[in-house]
Amino acid sequence: MKLAIPIINEKVSEHFGKSEYFIIYEINENNEVIGSKKLENNPCGDGSHSGHGSTVQTLLAENPDAVLFINMGQRSITSLAGKTALYRANDLDVENSLKEFLNGNLQQVQ
């Protein structure tokens, strides 16, 4: 399983489209992290006029099974719906949010 978390300033990004990068975690069938990598993003509002579509496309190129986020605009949610599972994080701390996900403590966003 691949889990993507949008990051800004080394924390879970409070705005999905403004994330600096994503951490893509590889998770095995025992719910253990077996690897991770950094995926650069072109955040909206950075002067490139890339908007939400660029962030969604950057992420979908990795084919994640799930995305963990704090806030995400409706257009991004709609664009990702049916392509990946969406989970709302409760904590800006990346490690805490990852643990909550791995422990099954986060509900999927419909």
2-102 folds as Nucleotidyltransferase; domain 5 (3.30.420)
Residue 29 corresponds to which tokens in the numbers above? 């069938």
Nearest to 42 by CA among 6, 14, 82: 6
Read off the pLDDT of residues 5-26 as tens digits, 9 standing for 90 and up.
999 999 999 999 889 999 999 9
Read off the pLDDT of residues 53-74 as tens digits, 9 standing for 90 and up.
578 888 999 999 999 999 998 9
List helix spans (H) across 8-84: 51-60, 74-80
Domain ranges, ordered by start, for the chain: 2-102
Q: What are phi and psi of 91, to 5 degrees?
A: -140, 140
3-class secondary structure, 97: helix
